[in-house]
Structure 1
Amino acid sequence: MKELKNEKELVKRAMALGTAYGEKRGVVEFEATDSATDKLEYIYRLLVHDKLIQPLPPDQLSQKAIRHRLAIWASKQPD
């Protein structure tokens, strides 16, 4: 897995887009005390459930892989 050129910014964008998507759908309200790790994992699972991204194989599921997958998803979203 090769890191994307601006992966950190894309992960931040994915968190913003994913949070907005989840709130618009009415399935989540994040608290200020929720960690970024928890938010990213929830967003990943929501997008997999809605079939917007392909799930990672269970043996490859890690925080780094989730961040990478969400960064790729965010890079494909319109501005």
Structure 2
Amino acid sequence: MAEVRRHHLAALAYEVEARGLRWRLAGPEESVLGVAHPVTRRQVMVVATPSGDGWSYLWTGGGIADVGNVAKVADRLVRILT
């Protein structure tokens, strides 16, 4: 389970980095993705968790999305942090 979680968080990390955001894995077994905007310095924490038959991203402020929508999640995080 931890390996699958890291895989989903790494996929999101790749997407947010491509959009100019900074990231780092934190927590036990690197279970949380911290994402920050380099200019505004706003930050958000994202987790990947099993949900129904698949996995979902959850982030502070009530955000939730299926991990299959990783590019859309990265775009949403950019808007939140700008």
Bigger strand share: 2
Bigger helix share: 1
Q: Same fold (TM over 0.5)?
A: no
Q: Does 1 or 2 have the higher relative contact order (CA < 8 Å, sep 6+)?
A: 1
Q: Shorter-chain TM-score: which interval?
A: 0.3 to 0.5
TM-score, normalisation: structure 2: 0.36
TM-score, normalisation: structure 1: 0.37
